[in-house]
Structure 1
Amino acid sequence: MNRQLLALLIVVSYFVLTIWFIRRRRLALASSTPEITNENSATLQTADTLVAFASQTGNAQQLASLTAEILAAAGLRLQVKALDQVSSSELANYRRALFIVSTTGEGDSPDNATDFVLKTMSGDANLQSLEYGLLALGDRRYTYFCGFGHTLDHWLQQSHALPLFDMVEVDNGDAGALRHWQSQLSLLADTIEAADWSAPAYQSWRLIERHLLNPGSVGGPVYHLKLEALEVHEGWQAGDIVEVGPRNSERSVAALLNALGLKHDAPANESGTPWGEWLAERFLPHSAAEIEALKQLPTSELSSSLKLLSHREYSIASLPAEGLELVVRQVRNTNGELGHGSGWLTEYASIGDKIALRVRPSPMFHPPAEPIPLILIGNGTGIAGLRAHLKASIAAGQRRHWLIFGERNAAYDAYFSDELQALQEEGVLTRLDIAYSRDQAIPIYVQDLIQQAADELRVWLDDGAAIFICGSAKGMAPEVHRVLLDIVGDHILANLTNTGRYRRDIY
């Protein structure tokens, strides 16, 4: 009897320990206010983020729950509600709202959004204090693809709400688009611990070139990378994105192997994957307590307790004929370690190493259907997406381009300066304005240059130009958006969005 009791205690202890490890991030927040509330909760007034869904079949509601899970795990206080339970006055009380909406029939709203459409969207609202993100679910076989999502986006912009990033369209459950949404959520929540809802089907590429673009810069090192495909792959066009499968450093993997008493070449699972290879692609524990928890697990259970590293996204800086090029800035986490994606691409991987990578179409940032003048705006590594659009537009025969770009210092951060100068001399880069923010006593930013050139910007737009923005979502993009609103107004900017003449790739 004592043996049976002891065995039962061991099983229960193991179960509790495993649950504790898997949910360690939420347990760290156990003393805070509950993250997810409902409309009758006493903590309603403490929620500053709304997750609202409009769902006909339940898919949007499920994605709303997954969205809330990521944000709540990061400590954000939020509510999850059906859209017809939300009023414009309530929206105005939130700092941030994330909408997950499907479309039924030919552009119609789901049933649980009918009241919102009739009572709220039919009138004017002032949502100038609201930031929002929008995930639109649809099917391209229908004429009005993501029709309700577009209608909602148009209404939000005309109500003065500020988009955190451009609407994410999902065609018939496309996993790549959902990963992009999840990537935006991770940036919003400032977390790297959320595993992909569905892992990308990576292909093998090889890193063939890498050089530092900004030696001596006060900013993080920025690298220009070139890769070649090792197998047949789908092509890409300007505006598309790569999903990269990151890896941990050999030092981090070796340290954990040593702490767990495991051998690098020993098999980690039934397929025979060595422990060193397995851990290179997994989220590793951060603390001594987490490592100790892993030590208590049987070796047969250890591998399944570690999540696969989530993908990292980067704008493509080249056209297919030139090979795949990226511009990547080294990012460091709060613990001082390099980020998983930038660390792998810029330091841990050696020239000639294989890189797990997938090209993902990004229709919302694709070039215009016909060559038209382009106003290209961005900062930092956003030069990557702008460079690809500039190249594609020139190749299509357009000769009128205006680049407005921002970085820190001209002496160190003048990316692709020789290339841009040559395009100016050829007459295909009509105007180049660069804001080097730290080269004068009073900083000058991209939005300042736009404001100064407001009259000419209106002329370009009257001539049919499109605006493409690529770069930071936390500084440049929202400030540029506000300046554009001042220059052209809500209705014109919303119309530019709906007609594909205002597009953004921000991160």
Structure 2
Amino acid sequence: MTVPVLSFSGTRLWWMRRRVSGPELNNVPITAADTVILVGSENNTTWGFARELHGQMTVAGRRVITVEMNQLAENYPQASLLIILTSTYGDGGAPASADIFKEKLSHFHPTKGLSFGVLGFGDKQFSKFCQFAVEVDEALACRGINRLADCDFIDRQSTEQFSLWGKHIADLTGLPLNLNYSARPVARFELQLINRADFGLEVQAPTSILRFGPVAAKKSWLHLAKTEPSKSVCANSQVACVPDFCTISKRGTVFGVSFKPTQISGQQRVVYQLF
């Protein structure tokens, strides 16, 4: 019974990510692109903004290619504009689609006249708000590439801030950009804490296992997903993973499942389990 459940939940995750990112983009070949848009995203939410920018650039007559940051090519022979949209993962780290970007950047050969702009996506409640975007901006400048605009930031996927950024880029490039993107709402499910078990206090390695389930009278597909939590959990963090099923973020989201995280203090390790 385990395999069908994991297959179902994995397929659901793929569908949810696909729903956010949308259908495939109509990219031009690397050798023909005059505009390159690179996307750094952990759960694909940044892709919706990238898609809007891609479409507007195409309407404006640009030859556009939009790919993950990890797919940076060594050279774009016709490119004059490089735009990077990226989130930040965890404590200032790179998101999944950009975790080898800096390495690939060391082999990048920019064309003469290439300009770049970086737009970071994050949440100001975290101390290292858009830290990875700042690092990417600095890394590109260190390669001697001309900075089109200062690194800018979007807080909590603000469509208003994205639109204003687009107007700024339009003023700098002379392109008729009118960015108007609204993120699709993700379905959310309420969970309740079923029980909690604490271990390791005697050896100064406290670990808590929190078990969540659907709220009574609000059963959903979650009750099908009886899985084991991952073995490795970051210390002093509320981040955990259920293999092939879901990832729980610091903001209390399990890929469409919302709950109120239990307050954990000190260097305590936490494992979340859904059932």
Which consecutive residues of structure 2, in runs of 5 or more, have no partner in the other structure? 1-24, 183-275
Q: Which has the higher contact order (CA 8 A, sep 6+)?
A: 2
Give the distance between the partners of 1:97 and 1:195, measured in 2 at CA.
Answer: 17
AA aligned to 1:98 is I
1:389-416 deviation per Cα after TM superposition (whole angstroms, max 9, x unaligned):
xxxxxxxxxxxxxxxxxxxxxxxxxxxx
Query: CA distance change for structure 1 residues 92 and 196 in 2, over 3 Å: closer, same or farther?
Result: same
Counterpart selection for 1:57 from 25, 43, 49: 43
Question: Normalization by structure 1: what TM-score?
Answer: 0.29
CA deviation profile, 1:165-203 (whole Å, cap 9, x unmatched)? 1111112123332122221343335226x36446xxxxx
Alignment correspondent of 1:169 = 153
Whether 1:102 aligns to 2:87 is: yes
Tell me, in whole angstroms, the C-alpha distance in 2 between the residues paired with 1:195 and 1:153.
22
| Match in the other structure for 1:182 | 166
Tell me the CA shift for residue 129 of structure 1: 3.2
Identify if the C-alpha distance between structure 1 residues 83 and 61 changes in structure 2 by more than 3 Å, giving closer, same or farther: same
Identity %: 21
**Kindly tell me: are residues 110 and 73 of structure 1, through their superposed partners in 2, closer, same or farther at Cα, counting changes over 3 Å?**
same
Partner residue in 1 for 2:64: 78
| Alignment-derived partner of residue 111 in structure 1 | 96
Provide the secondary structure at the position in 1 that maps to 2:97: helix
Determine if the alignment matches structure 1 residue 158 to structure 2 residue 130: no
Residue 138 (structure 1) shift: 1.2
Shift of 1:93: 5.4
Change (3 A) 1:134 1:185: same
Give the letter aligned to residue 41 of structure 2.
S
Could you tell me how far apart the structure 2 residues matched to 1:67 and 1:196 are?
9
**Which runs of structure 2 are paired with 1:23-62 in the superposition (5 Å)?**
37-38=26-27, 43-62=29-48
Deviation at 1:132, TM superposition (A): 0.9
- Kept in 2, the 8 Å contact 1:60–1:100? The answer is yes
- Equivalent runs, 1:115-264 vs 2, <5 Å: 115-117=100-102, 119-121=103-105, 123=106, 127=110, 129-187=113-171, 188=173, 190-191=175-176, 194=178, 196-197=180-181
Letter of the structure 1 residue corresponding to residue 44 of structure 2: G
> Do the aligned residues in 2 keep the contact of 1:74 with 1:189 (CA within 8 Å)?
no
- The alignment's C-alpha RMSD in Å is 2.3
Shift of 1:46: 1.8
Residue 54 of structure 2 aligns to which amino acid in structure 1?
A: A
**TM-fit CA distance, 1:100:** 0.5
- Is 2:35–2:82's contact at 8 Å kept on the other side of the alignment? yes
Cα displacement (A) at 1:45:
1.9
Number of residue equivalences: 156
The one-letter code sitting in structure 2 at the alignment partner of 1:115 is I
State the AA in 1 paired with 2:161. A
Q: Assess, with a 3 A threshold, how the Cα gap between structure 1 residues 50 and 172 changes in structure 2: closer, same or farther.
A: same
Cα distance in 1, alignment partners of residues 32 and 61 from structure 2: 12
> What SS is found at the alignment partner of 2:42?
coil
Structure 1 stretches lacking a partner, 5+ long: 1-35, 199-507
